[in-house]
């Protein structure tokens, strides 16, 4: 899109913040998180290490990590009012999906903690909200958090009531680390706009959750997996995808505002999904997804020549989270669980360095209408 009189639709290319949190180079497919290439960080670090890195600027020592992880674990239990809200919401005639329930309940997370603890409470409690609501929706009692387990292991434990294998915990941890931060994406920008008004951290994160939910931002992985399931066999991929494009639909999991090559996060998540599916899963689903990806990328090249529509993070998110045993409805809430750490880091940065974010709109309406009394209006 081109600027017309300084107007850039979607703010494309506009620099609206300085950050030390992540660098995205869309031309070469590079993502650096707080100084580390994402390929090195995501598959090796624990999630707690990455949160610490983003918030304090360096990887923790063993002692600092132990203390930080312990503080987060102690904050996992939810305030009673949050549990009551989730219980009431789960019993309504048409209970909302897990992402809407997360947005509603996240707004209560200032209860029972001082404002300086909001950041830790948000990271610690988002998984508890998602898992508790998931249990309640199935008529079960929520599983209490287990402070002996890591952040990722505890989330899987609260969802199922069983301690997950090391391979599954590693798979989830790699996912959460991969999506933890990504420049000035829509939800991060929303969080920065809110905190820049000197509002509070809980409000900023609730706003960001609302932005992430949209189907062209964090809501894409569920539909991406549905698409692979509907395709069923590699031979059906081409007619199915051609039909979608011919009827004006977007292929979920493809295209990106910034990347003009394959999203580097797709590479990490594809490798992790392959490892997981090889160990205990359905390799034929993985092979099918690979073939759907190839067909989609070549059809998109025909459909929008020169636009370089490539695989984005959401395509392999879907496959990996499915491999971890998560239902599609949990994909976007799980994205929020990872990204919250990044949103909060951006809030800290915005509070430290930023000004009120207040761009301009170019008025394109008329300005000389005569007032019409209500009885005279057509």
CA gyration radius for the chain?
Answer: 22
Q: Which is nearer to ligand ACO, 93 or 248 (CB)?
A: 248
Give which of 130, 66, 140 is closest to 102, Cα–Cα. Answer: 130
Question: If DSSP codes are grouped into helix, strand and coil, which group holds residue 37?
Answer: strand
Which residue's beta carbon is nearest to the bound ligand ACO?
A: 255
Q: Which is nearer to ligand ACO, 3 or 111 (CB)?
A: 3
Q: Which is nearer to ligand ACO, 66 or 243 (CB)?
A: 243
Task: Determine which one of 49, 272, 274, 314 is catalytic.
Answer: 314
Minimum distance between the CB of residue 217 and ligand ACO, rounded to whole angstroms? 4
- In what side-by-side order are the strands of the sheet with 36-37? 22-25, 30-33, 36-37
Minimum distance between the CB of residue 254 and ligand ACO, rounded to whole angstroms? 4
Question: If DSSP codes are grouped into helix, strand and coil, which group holds residue 369?
Answer: coil
User: For 70-106, b where at least 16 C-beta lie within 10 A, e where not — what string?
Assistant: eebbebbbbbeebbebbeebbeeeebebbbbbbbbbb
267 labelled catalytic: no
Minimum distance between the CB of residue 63 and ligand ACO, rounded to whole angstroms? 35
Q: Which is nearer to ligand ACO, 269 or 313 (CB)?
A: 313
Minimum distance between the CB of residue 96 and ligand ACO, rounded to whole angstroms? 22
CA distance 172 to 48: 13
Task: Determine which one of 182, 256, 322, 346 is catalytic.
Answer: 256
Structure tokens at 90: 């789960």
Minimum distance between the CB of residue 60 and ligand ACO, rounded to whole angstroms? 27
In the complex, the residues that contact ligand ACO under the rule CB under 6 A are 10, 216-218, 220, 250-257, 304, 307, 309, 312-314
Within 10 A of 254 (CB to CB), how many other CB atoms are there? 22
Q: Which is nearer to ligand ACO, 87 or 290 (CB)?
A: 290
Sign of CA dihedral 371, 376, 377, 378: negative
Q: Which is nearer to ligand ACO, 246 or 370 (CB)?
A: 246
Minimum distance between the CB of residue 276 and ligand ACO, rounded to whole angstroms? 21
308 Ramachandran zone, left/alpha/beta (phi>0; psi -120 to 50): left
Residue at token pair 């508790």: 132
314 labelled catalytic: yes
List, in sequence order, every residue forming a beta bridge with 20; answer none if it has no partner. none
Catalytic residue positions, numbered: 256, 314
């Amino acid at each position: 899109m081109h600027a017309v009189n300084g107007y850039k639709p979607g703010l494309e290319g506009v620099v609206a913040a300085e950050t030390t949190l992540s660098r995205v180079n869309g031309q070469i497919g590079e993502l650096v998180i707080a100084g580390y290439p994402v390929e090195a960080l995501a598959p090796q670090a624990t999630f707690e290490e990455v949160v610490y890195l983003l918030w304090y600027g360096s990887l923790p020592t063993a002692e600092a990590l132990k203390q930080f992880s312990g503080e987060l674990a102690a904050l996992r239990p939810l305030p009673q009012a949050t549990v009551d809200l989730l219980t009431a919401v789960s019993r309504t005639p048409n209970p909302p999906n897990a992402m809407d329930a997360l947005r509603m309940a996240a707004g209560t997370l200032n209860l029972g903690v001082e404002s300086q603890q909001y950041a830790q409470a948000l990271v610690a409690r988002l998984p508890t909200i998602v898992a508790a609501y998931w249990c309640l929706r199935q008529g079960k009692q929520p599983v209490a958090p287990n402070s002996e387990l890591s952040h990722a292991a505890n989330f899987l434990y609260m969802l199922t009531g069983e301690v997950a294998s090391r391979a599954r915990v590693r798979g989830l941890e790699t996912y959460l680390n991969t999506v933890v931060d990504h420049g000035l994406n829509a939800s991060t920008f929303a969080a920065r706009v809110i905190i820049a008004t000197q509002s509070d951290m809980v409000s900023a994160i609730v706003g960001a959750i609302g932005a992430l939910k949209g189907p062209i931002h964090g809501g894409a992985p569920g539909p991406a997996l549905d698409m692979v399931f509907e395709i069923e066999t590699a031979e059906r991929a081409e007619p199915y995808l051609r039909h979608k494009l011919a009827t004006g639909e977007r292929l979920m999991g493809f295209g990106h505002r910034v990347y003009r090559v394959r999203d580097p996060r797709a590479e990490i998540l594809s490798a992790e999904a392959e490892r997981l599916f090889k160990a205990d899963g359905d390799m034929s689903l993985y092979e099918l997804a690979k073939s759907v990806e190839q067909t989609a990328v070549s059809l998109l090249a025909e459909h929008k020549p020169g636009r370089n529509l490539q695989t984005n993070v959401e395509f392999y998110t879907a496959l990996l989270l499915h491999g971890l045993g998560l239902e599609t409805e949990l994909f976007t809430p799980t994205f929020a669980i990872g990204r919250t750490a990044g949103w909060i880091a951006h809030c800290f940065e915005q509070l430290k360095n930023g000004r009120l974010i207040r761009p301009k709109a170019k008025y394109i309406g008329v300005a000389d209408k005569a007032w019409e009394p209500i009885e005279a209006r057509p």
